Structure 1
Amino acid sequence: MTRRIALTFMALIVLLLVLAVVPLGLSMTQREQTSFRDTTQAANRTIAAAAEEYLSDHRSPAAMRRLLEQAERAGDCAAVFDTAGRPVAATGCPGRTGEGEEDDQAAGNWGDLAHQVLVHPGTAARERDDRLVVAEPIGDTTHPVGAAVLSRSAESMHDRIASMWWRLALIGAGALVAGVLLSVALARWVGRPLRAVDAAALRLGEGALDVRAPGGRGPQEVRRLASTFNTMAARMEALIHGHRAVVADVSHQLRTPLTALRLRLDLLAAGADDATAAEFAGAQEEIARLSRLVDGLLAVSRAENAVPRPVPVRVDQVVDDRVVAWEPVARERRVSLTGRCGVRLTAYLSTGDLEQVIDNLVANALDVVGEGAAIRIEGEATRGRVVLRVVDNGPGMREAVREAAFRRFGNPEASGSGLGLAIVHRLITANGGTVRLQDTAGGGLTVLLELPPLPPQGAPQGLRAGS
């Protein structure tokens, strides 16, 4: 967002500079050219007025020659022509010395311009070789007695225009630099507190309920957002801690009377007849089921209270270890349990979470598949993620049940406590992964886990869980 604000602000500044500086520069350029033309024509009219006294009134040409000499000293070239177009007096200047082909061409061009104003009285101007040549009729504009021609170099005008454009460019560049600095400062002023709120929200989503966004910085709306977020986080922390405390306390308090009740039933069953002993055995099974339910609630509570601290985990080694641990149970139930993962397949998880996930999934699968079934654990790296599949060919799961399977007691058809998949979902999502249930081709259920890989910056490779 900071970059977008800065780029938008810079684009606006560039647009304003273009709309303001370029028209100003063009206007000043036109004004400079007009001023240069007017000044040149005024100087030529002065020469024409002095030449009129000589050609019309037959006075001394001294005033005319003095003006021509002044024009020559100023770097101008000037000439006075009579009514026949013949030069009466002229200054010496490059291109008008009267020698060489280039001089003749210049003299011819001046003569053509003089003839033009004699035939059509009025001021005429022409640009040639970076010089401005102006011609003015001498005397009455109806019946002129001659023509005055003045050529002035436009180099000084171009230098002034170039200097003016350079100044405007420097002003524009300075304004652009100031605008960039201002836009970056503005973007940071707005973006930093928003990033802080975003980071706090991310940590809150990962389970750090005590996180709070820093307030007192940025615009008023951002400060209000941080305050609202902190209020929400505080209320959420109180509610979740209260909920977890109730579940943990109730579950813990239930274990003691359940244990005492089981011992009493064992004592009563020891001296009872066969029929009564069978009833006691049924009661003990229900107590065992209730104990498993309490243990599941405690496991969910511990999973929800845990804050993930991811480290590199060798998925292939964890899978091999859990297959070895569960293989005797699978063999006893006549179920095939195999594992196959890519070599050195590594994910980024909290220590012990992957073991608990695999244990729950294998236990659930062993509870539902029958004799002769198969359970496979497969792992591979694909599309920048580590994918782990637990596949069985058991009875599968209906779509309606799959949609609610990750909620506590969401599967009414579960043979156990119904909390195993809830624990799996909590552990995987808390570590930044995803978990889905799919049908196995040919029948059965596939649990698809997408685990986060190592971060781009890398993590200390010496910390490896399960290795």
Structure 2
Amino acid sequence: MTRRVALAVMALVTLVLLIAVLPLGLSLARQERNSFRDGTVAADRALAAAAEEHLPVRGSTAPLRRFLERSTEPGDCSAVFDAAGRELAVTPCPGATGAQAAARSEQWAALARSVLAHPRTVTRSQDDRLVVAVPVGDESRTVGVSVLSRSSDATDDRIAAMWLRLAAVGVGGLVAGALLAVFLARWVGRPLRAVDAAAHELGEGDLTARAAAGRGPVEVRRLAATFNTMAARMEALIHGHRAVIADVSHQLRTPMAALRLRLDMLSADADEAAGPDFAAAQQEIARLSRLVDGLLAVARAENAVPRPVAVRVDEVVADRLAAWAPVAQDRRVRLTARCHPGLTARLGPGDLEQVLDNLLANALDALDEGGHIALDGLARHGQVILTVTDNGPGMSRSAQETAFHRFSGPETSGTGLGLAIVHRLLTANGGSVRLEDTPGGGLTVVLELPPGDR
């Protein structure tokens, strides 16, 4: 987040600087050059006005040359031409060689003839210098041409210094904007990351997770406070549900145990005619006990917040296979397993054992002698796939659609809560479960478990 915000602010500052500073620099540079040109033209016009008085009618041009030397500034060079375009006086340009001076005289003579033909002020750039030619005399009578050449180095230096100052201002603004963006991004991002970490911990099952409040802008502090309030209420709600489950377990099991004991005592003293009735009553009490146990198991599963850990699926499958093998042998049902070694999933502690116990119990209840239950585990497309397959009577399509609901239907032989517990435990851990028909008859339960290496 910090990098994205800093880059966005830097891009915005760069755009603003380009829009504001670049036109400003171009405008200032244009003003400097215009000022330099206007100053040079004004100086040449003043020179032309003063040179008119020193134009020789007959005789020596020495006074005119001395006048040019006195009137020009250091670094300038000038020349005066008469009405015929002949050079009367000239001050050489600094550093010019003989060949350069000769070439410059020819260029200035051509420029003077052009001005004499069409009296006007002419400006040209030659060798990093500005050359200005101004007619001497008034518009009705042009008696000569004054040419002034001035170096533009000082103006170029001022423009370069101006660009350097603007560049420094732009870089400073860009750095300041980047620092401010990083500060603001961290100011906002750190408390948001704290809220995200707390939410992750809460989702992993740590009900005591809270976000650090009191940092960042007002909106982020309000978000952290709201999250902490929600987490506290969730913790109180789950603990309250667990307390209710414990109370219900105690309150229901105790009177049912007492009722079963009374029935056992009464059946011992009853005559033979009342024996079947007592036996039926005891069966109903046993069924009610199983139903209460199933309801409590569903309630615990629904209120549990798992904290996933890495679980060795192959070891759990082998352990449950060994635990249920005696029951399968008594019912003459074949129980087999095939699982890839080292297969690992992330589940709450004990959840996979409870899932397999419910599925194996349901399958054993549905099978007759000679039946077969197979457990297969493998990794596929980043998921751990575990299947429990039997060759029993199976389930109809409508029954499969409601099988994961409590008391799912008349085809359920037990309490109708086993598959509801399985569904709840898997979805709470980020997995899924579905039912499929076994080829040749029977039911296949497909479990998709989150991989242990994510």
* TM-score range relative to shorter protein: 0.7 to 0.9
Any conservation in 1 of the 2:204–2:308 contact (CA below 8 Å)?
no
Report how far residue 145 of structure 1 moved: 2.1
The equivalences for 1:170-209 within 5 A come to 170-209=168-207
Query: Would you say the 8 A contact 2:204–2:307 is kept in 1?
Result: no
Q: How does 1:136-175 map to 2 (within 5 A)?
A: 136-175=134-173
Percent identity of equivalent pairs: 62
| Equivalences, count | 451
CA contact (8 A) 2:133 2:145 kept: yes
Q: Aligned pair 1:436/2:433, yes or no?
A: yes
SS at match of 2:24: helix
Deviation at 1:291, TM superposition (A): 1.9
Contact 1:96–1:106 (CA<8 Å) still a contact in 2? no
Structure 1 residues 57-108: Cα deviation after superposition (integer angstroms, max 9, x where no partner): 789754654544674x733343322233333222333785442xx5554443
Deviations 1:408-459 (A, max 9, x none): 545665333333334334433444x22131424646343332314334xxxx
Structure 1 residue 126: deviation in Å?
A: 2.0
Give the secondary structure class of the aligned counterpart of 1:133.
strand
Distance in 1 of aligned mates of 2:387 and 2:326: 21
* Equivalent position to 1:228, from 217, 226, 229: 226
**Alignment of structure 1 residues 220-259 onto 2, 5 Å:** 220-259=218-257
Work out which of the residue numbers 379, 403, 412 in structure 2 matches 1:381.
Answer: 379
CA–CA separation in structure 1 for the residues paired with 2:438 and 2:92: 104
User: For residue 285 of structure 1, what is the aligned residue in structure 2?
Assistant: 283
Cα distance between partner residues in 1 of 2:288 and 2:297 = 14
Structure 1: 5+ residue stretches without partners = 456-467
**Offset of residue 250 of structure 1:** 0.8
Change (3 A) 1:238 1:147: same
Change beyond 3 A, Cα 1:112–1:362? farther
Q: 1:319 to 1:63 in 2, by over 3 A?
A: farther
Alignment of 1:20-419 (within 5 A): 20-55=20-55, 62=63, 65-68=66-69, 71=72, 74-93=74-93, 97-99=97-99, 104-272=102-270, 276-303=274-301, 307-369=305-367, 373-392=371-390, 394-397=392-395, 405-406=403-404, 408-409=406-407, 413-419=411-417
5+ residue gaps in structure 2?
A: none
Q: Take 1:316 and 1:250, find their aligned partners in 2: how far apart are those partners?
A: 36
Q: Secondary structure at the match of 1:111?
A: helix
Change (3 A) 1:243 1:150: same
Partners of 1:129 and 1:446 in 2: CA distance? 92
Q: Comparing 288-297 with 406-415, which one deviates more in the overlay?
A: 406-415
Task: List per-residue Cα deviations over 1:263-317 (Å, max 9, x = no partner).
Answer: 3333433454555333333222222222223333443454456554443322222
Q: TM-score, normalised by structure 2?
A: 0.84
Do the aligned partners of residues 355 and 84 (structure 1) sit closer, same or farther apart at CA in structure 2, a change above 3 Å counting? farther
Instruction: Judge conservation of contact 1:438–1:446 (CA < 8 Å) in 2.
Output: yes
Contact 1:391 1:440 in 2 (8 A): no
TM score, norm. by length of structure 1: 0.82
Q: Which amino acid aligns with 1:454?
A: D
Q: How far apart in 2 are the matches of 1:336 and 1:110? A: 117
- RMSD, aligned α-carbons: 3.4
**AA aligned opposite 1:312:** A
